[in-house]
Structure 1
Amino acid sequence: MTSRPLRFHHAALGFGGNPLDRMAAARDHGSSIPALLEDPETRYVAFSGDHVLVRGPAEADDPWFRSGEVKGFGPPTETVFLGRTARMAVFAKRFDPPSDESEGAPPVRDLRSMATVGLAPPDTLGILAEAKALLHWHRSHRFCAACGQPSRLAAWGWRRECTACGTHHFPRTDPVVIMMAVDGDRCLLGRQPRFAPGMYSCLAGFLEPGETIEAAVRRELNEEAGITVGAVDYLASQPWPFPASLMIGCIAEASSSAITIDATELEDARWFARAELRRMLDGTHPDGLVCPPPMAIAHGLMQAWAEA
């Protein structure tokens, strides 16, 4: 695919910089976690539904709260332990959105927007991604998949237990392949109807049961664009908490070039020369075509190949 190894710019990627020690061994058997709830050094992140509670623009949209502060938000639907750094333990709480916006709750921010415009540092974004995915799982898995009875939070948020049959359920992460097919000095990009005007990105799709990463890359490229590929190289991954995916970034060597678009998935797909892709990345494309923002793994894949 290229004579030189691709250099991926991990520092710009959103949600990947999580500094927490998750302390898995202490979730069930340790006595240290309950004592951390009221520790003055402990910090909380909080969500109203799927949105991050923040202190507001006057405090740079700070999402960190102390124990006494989150108690003022009312009863949480869940409280989960995320882990700790050398300095502090971190918990997350989820609250139902208020029925009346005038109730005095802190402002909320969309996590994707926070990452896109840089409203939080990388390590904070990684912690918020962990919290959002875990809290979403609890909200959507309140009943046992084995018997249908209610389940309860256990292991400080890292398990649910059925109150009737005793089945244990664990948080899920949905793997997604996101890939760019390349053919010599050109790459394949597509756009969905929901994309911003002029934006093209890498193709992507969920892994299916019993499927390898390489097989999923080949299947998705063939299904969405009619392209067959040979060698598939893994490049990088990204947690994507919308709601709880792991994006697995790959570069694939095309063995065909005729594009047949799946119109249910894509509005357009075409080959881009490396020089044209560079103009898209630096915002100078003559037709105004653009790439996803730097926090997205698609941008990283495109940049890595464009610079090779």
Structure 2
Amino acid sequence: MKIAEQVTFGTGLMDRAANLRTDSKGLLHSARTARILPVWRGKPMFDRGTEHHTTLAYLTRDHPQLLLRQDLLVFLGRDDHGPLFAVDVSDWTAKGDAPDPSAFVDQTWQHFPDTPDTQGFAELRGVMTQLTPSEAEVAATARSILEWHRIHGFCANCGTKSVPVQAGWQRDCPACARPHFPRTDPVVIMLITHGNAVLIGRNALWPTGMYSLLAGFMEPGETIEAATRREVFEETGVRVGTVGYLASQPWPYPSSLMIGTRGLATTTEITIDPNELEQAQWVTREQMLEVFAGQNPDMLPARKGSIAHFLLSNWLADRLD
């Protein structure tokens, strides 16, 4: 797919500068003038200067809230403006709105002390389409790496608390010397077609009327093609023949790689697995065009910014090659 890297989070614009991760003195010097992105409970800090224009909000190392968190800095890389770091500030107690864990997308906003009124923490999924491609990549990287530190703080081999090294891109166990590296969970997300129709489904927990492409985690020892066929059959009973790769998207929830594939169905009868889907159906190209145009009151498209929306919109435009 020629425009594969236009997907949100997937542009690869940031120089990760992995060669600098062992240079502790150099990184310490860089941190003095670097831009640091705070992340609170998975929510990066943004500046919503105008209603429809949101940008990342960076702090500097001498900010009062960061002075006691110097050892928590993670080096993300650098862009045309210099080095970039992220820091987890989840120990800070926010005032005002509390996140709603039951909401499909958290719409609350938490203002960070000693910052302008326009700056605060927001759910990345709610603003991802307002960011530039490079900002979206930085935000996704920061969220993923900090979440990995949060949930992998102990050695999986012996249980001892591990120590961050390599500027935050590795954790070492002081007891058994086992190194641990950030993980990425591969997920196949499938554009399954039969003639002029595409197979879509919905989870019971999604907003009313929202549909998307089928998706599922890959299993050990499995190819992308095999995972595509297995997941589609398990969820809908539809058999898939030819499978091809389209595009991929880093998805920081918590740290997945969405692998977009296209599969040609060899059967069309649907038998859903109720543990996976509430509903699945075939939708023609003409019907999906109406959905994307907001002319179908009973069906909503996949959210903008997701690879599902990206693949469906390019299928409608006949731009999958």
Q: TM-score, normalization: structure 1?
A: 0.89
- Residue identity matched to 1:169: H
Q: Say which SS state the counterpart of residue 101 (structure 1) adopts.
A: coil
How far did 1:272 drift? 0.6
Aligned match of 1:256:
267
Q: Distance in 1 between matches of 2:84 and 2:200?
A: 40
Q: Count matched residues.
A: 296
Percent of residue pairs bearing the same amino acid type: 37
Aligned match of 2:35:
43
**C-alpha distance after superposition, 1:37-85 (max 9, x if no partner):** 102xx2111111211123554795542222222x434633721000012
Aligned match of 1:290:
300
Q: Say which SS state the counterpart of residue 67 (structure 1) adopts.
A: coil
C-alpha contact 2:56 2:135 (8 A) present in aligned 1: no
Aligned match of 2:45:
53
Aligned match of 2:99:
none
**C-alpha distance after superposition, 1:84-116 (max 9, x if no partner):** 123210000001243351796352111111214
| More deviation, 21-30/238-247 | 21-30
| More deviation, 223-232/92-101 | 92-101
Aligned match of 1:299:
309
The alignment's C-alpha RMSD in Å is 2.1
Q: Say which SS state the counterpart of residue 38 (structure 2) adopts.
A: strand
C-alpha contact 2:144 2:254 (8 A) present in aligned 1: yes
C-alpha contact 2:10 2:137 (8 A) present in aligned 1: yes
Q: Distance in 1 between matches of 2:185 and 2:67?
A: 32
Q: Say which SS state the counterpart of residue 68 (structure 2) adopts.
A: coil
Q: Distance in 1 between matches of 2:54 and 2:200?
A: 36
**C-alpha distance after superposition, 1:197-248 (max 9, x if no partner):** 2121100000100100000000000000001101011111101001100100
Q: Distance in 1 between matches of 2:306 and 2:90?
A: 29
**C-alpha distance after superposition, 1:163-208 (max 9, x if no partner):** 1111100000111000021111111100111222212110000010
Q: Distance in 2 between matches of 1:125 and 1:138?
A: 20
Match of 1:129 among 125, 140, 156: 140
Q: Distance in 2 between matches of 1:178 and 1:257?
A: 18
The structure with higher relative contact order (CA 8 Å, sep 6+) is 1
Q: Say which SS state the counterpart of residue 62 (structure 2) adopts.
A: helix
- Mapped pair 1:168 → 2:151: no
Q: Distance in 1 between matches of 2:235 and 2:224?
A: 16
Q: Say which SS state the counterpart of residue 183 (structure 2) adopts.
A: coil
- Mapped pair 1:99 → 2:93: yes
How far did 1:301 drift? 1.3
Q: Distance in 2 between matches of 1:276 and 1:9?
A: 25
C-alpha contact 1:83 1:89 (8 A) present in aligned 2: yes
Aligned match of 1:80:
74
Aligned match of 2:104:
none
Q: Distance in 2 between matches of 1:86 and 1:151?
A: 33
C-alpha contact 1:9 1:300 (8 A) present in aligned 2: no
Name the CA shift for 1:62/1:26 in 2 (closer, same or farther; >3 Å): closer
- Mapped pair 1:184 → 2:195: yes
Name the CA shift for 1:194/1:121 in 2 (closer, same or farther; >3 Å): same
Match of 1:115 among 128, 133, 140: 128
| Structure 2 portions without partners, runs of 5+ | 97-110
Match of 1:195 among 206, 226, 229: 206
Aligned match of 2:15:
21
Aligned match of 1:3:
none
Name the CA shift for 1:143/1:276 in 2 (closer, same or farther; >3 Å): same
C-alpha contact 2:4 2:247 (8 A) present in aligned 1: no
- Residue identity matched to 1:115: M
Paired residues for 1:225-244 under 5 Å: 225-244=236-255
Q: Distance in 2 between matches of 1:122 and 1:153?
A: 29
C-alpha contact 2:38 2:89 (8 A) present in aligned 1: yes
How far did 1:257 drift? 0.8
How far did 1:9 drift? 6.9
Paired residues for 1:197-216 under 5 Å: 197-216=208-227
C-alpha contact 1:8 1:304 (8 A) present in aligned 2: no
Name the CA shift for 1:8/1:183 in 2 (closer, same or farther; >3 Å): farther
How far did 1:32 drift? 2.5
- Residue identity matched to 1:144: C
